[in-house]
Amino acid sequence: MLGPAILMGQSKHRENCLSLGLDCDRIPRHIAIIMDGNGRWAKERNESRVFGHIHGVNAVRSSVEAALELGVRHLTLYAFSTENWSRPAEEVNALMDLLVTTLVKEVESLGDKGVRLRTIGDLSALPIDCQEQLRLAEDGTKNLQSLDLILALNYSSKWELVEAIKQLMKSDIDPKDLTADDVARNLSTNQIPDPELMIRTSGEHRISNFMLWQLSYAELYFTPTLWPDFSKEHFYESVRDFQNRDRRFGGIMDANRTMSKKG
Ligand code: FPP
């Protein structure tokens, strides 16, 4: 049975969806975002790339708030890829510092809103203070249930799949019995449902080594908006677009919009 707090949350989500013209029963459970365009946003203003990342934090805040308003259960943000280490050391260090200062500043208010912070990726390569703040934030919010905010840090899909294969090769599963569920259980997103909607900002149309397995059936939404400009309204718009898609999962939709499998 659902508790009173959850029921109250659900009626608030319904009210919010109604006022935004969204269908509360078709809100994606999991939205994943490739936050792109911080550097270009800064360049347009003759500022350093780091200036763009600093302003990108506002868009993170807006997206978390919008996800909470609509009742999205999981929000994954691609914050640092395994390829991002090839950027100048000054930019990498600034990004790590920004992560630490943001966590220190925001973790309490995230907790007050019921946000559980989680991570995917190889954290062992991150600076020690960064690992420590992440551990504190993950521990301190682990029982919260309004929204899982999942930061992909030192993450890439190929890294994750190689790690999963290594685990499977050490397991006692007979290769001929191996299933897609066995693979999914060995990914860093084990127990987290696959994203139904993937948003990429800045006009690029690529997946960039992000959740390749998990995005198999996700709806992809590309917007020219640069990440620091991505507002709550942009977030709602992406969900509106999602709600206008026909999701067929390889089947066919009949006239009553019910699903039947292709033979
Ligand atoms: C991509 O834009 C952005 C990143 C690699 C970093 C994203 C980081 C943040 C939004 C700030 C910190 C995040 C958290 C969760 C506190 P880009 O630099 O590739 O932009 P460009 O393509 O215009 O050069």
pLDDT tens profile 82-99? 999 999 999 999 999 999
Establish if 175 belongs to a structural domain.
yes
pLDDT for 263 beyond 60: no
Q: Which atom of ligand 1 is nearest to the CA of 42?
A: 23
Q: Is the CB of 56 under 6 A from ligand 1?
A: yes
Q: How high is the pLDDT of residue 6? A: 66
| Mean pLDDT over each residue of the chain, to the nearest integer | 93
Share above pLDDT 90 across residues of the chain, in percent, rounded to a whole number: 89
Establish if 188 belongs to a structural domain.
yes
Establish if 247 belongs to a structural domain.
no
* Averaged pLDDT for residues 128-143: 96
Q: Is the CB of 239 under 6 A from ligand 1?
A: no
Per-residue 3-state assignment (H helix, E strand, C coil) for 238-259: HHHHHHCCCCCCCCEECCCCCE
Specify whether 84 is catalytic.
yes
* CATH code for position 52: 3.40.1180.10
Find, among 28, 134, 32, the residue nearest to 72 by Cα. 28
Specify whether 36 is catalytic.
yes
Find, among 227, 223, 251, the residue nearest to 239 by Cα. 223
Q: How high is the pLDDT of residue 11? A: 87
pLDDT for 260 beyond 60: no
Q: Is the CB of 102 under 6 A from ligand 1?
A: yes
Q: How high is the pLDDT of residue 222? A: 98
From 194, 223, 255, give the residue that closes a domain: 194
pLDDT for 54 beyond 90: yes
Establish if 236 belongs to a structural domain.
no
Do 126 and 39 have their domain in common?
yes
- Residue span of the structural domain in which 33 resides: 29-155
**57 CA distance to ligand 1 centroid (A)?**
9
Q: Is the CB of 60 under 6 A from ligand 1?
A: yes
* Averaged pLDDT for residues 140-145: 96
Do 143 and 163 have their domain in common?
no
Q: How high is the pLDDT of residue 8? A: 67
Q: Which atom of ligand 1 is nearest to the CA of 40?
A: 23
pLDDT tier at 250, thresholds 50, 70, 90: confident
Out of 16, 36, 38, 194, pick the active-site residue.
Answer: 36
Q: Is the CB of 75 under 6 A from ligand 1?
A: no
Do 77 and 133 have their domain in common?
yes
Torsion of CA 183, 188, 194, 199, to 10 degrees: -130
Q: Which atom of ligand 1 is nearest to the CA of 56?
A: 10
pLDDT for 39 beyond 80: yes
Structure tokens at 98: 């920004």
Q: How high is the pLDDT of residue 262? A: 44
Do 124 and 33 have their domain in common?
yes
pLDDT for 36 beyond 80: yes
pLDDT for 49 beyond 70: yes
What pTM, to 2 d.p., does this model score? 0.93
Establish if 75 belongs to a structural domain.
yes
Structure tokens at 235: 């977030």
Q: What is the count of structural domains for the chain?
A: 2
Establish if 55 belongs to a structural domain.
yes
Q: How high is the pLDDT of residue 248? A: 74
Exposure of 14 by Cβ count < 10 A (0-12 exposed, 13-18 middle, 19+ buried)?
middle
